[in-house]
Structure 1
Amino acid sequence: MQLGTRWTAGAQPPAAVPRTLWDTIAQVETLSLNAGDPPPRWTLTWLEGRPIAELDTGVIVTTDASGAAVVQHDPEDDFA
């Protein structure tokens, strides 16, 4: 069993976050952080042994079948 964790965007990811996601997470943060706004938080969970890092904004960083990091967006987090 693998437990998830939370951390604030802009901070170094915790050791539980696979290094394969770190560069992609940093790229997402570069595009997602707005000066003056409180930084969103990441949530790391695991599904079938694969890491899923989701930013409060709905951006998801996970791995594909080959282990490469990929970025997705949760359409349920879109604001109408």
Structure 2
Amino acid sequence: MQLGTRWTSGDEPPASVPPAVAAAVRAVDAAFGSAGPRPRWTLTWLEGRPIAELDSGVIVELDADGTAVVRHDDEDEFG
């Protein structure tokens, strides 16, 4: 079993965040900048694969090849 974690956007991702996901999280954080209150990231694991979700709905996950994919939770991942 792998436990998730939370951290504030703009802070360094915890060591438990895989490198490809951490790099994508940093890129999302940089795109948002530091204006206003900073949302929080939540790292969870689904079937052994990491999923980082920002409170705003941005999701970073790994595809089957291990490449980080960034999407928003209102995007249809099947269509």
Q: Which range moves more in the overlay, 22-31 or 65-74?
A: 22-31
Q: Distance in 2 between matches of 1:9 and 1:58?
A: 13
> Percent sequence identity over matched residues?
63
Match of 1:38 in 2: 37
CA RMSD of superposed structures (Å): 1.3
Q: Distance in 2 between matches of 1:48 and 1:60?
A: 16
SS in structure 2 of the partner of residue 75 of structure 1: coil
SS in structure 2 of the partner of residue 57 of structure 1: coil
Unaligned runs of 5+ in 2: none
Task: Tell me the TM-score normalized by structure 2.
Answer: 0.88
Q: Is the Cα–Cα contact under 8 Å of residues 10 and 34 in structure 2 kept in the other structure?
A: no
SS in structure 1 of the partner of residue 56 of structure 2: coil
Match of 2:13 in 1: 13
The residue type paired with residue 65 of structure 2 is S
Unaligned runs of 5+ in 1: none
The residue type paired with residue 53 of structure 1 is A
String of CA shifts for 1:21-53, please: whole Å, max 9, x gaps.
Answer: 121111111122342x11000000000110000
Task: Tell me the TM-score normalized by structure 1.
Answer: 0.87
Q: Distance in 2 between matches of 1:2 and 1:22?
A: 17
Q: Distance in 1 between matches of 2:67 and 2:26?
A: 15
Q: Is the Cα–Cα contact under 8 Å of residues 33 and 39 in structure 1 kept in the other structure?
A: no
SS in structure 2 of the partner of residue 10 of structure 1: coil
Aligned length: 75
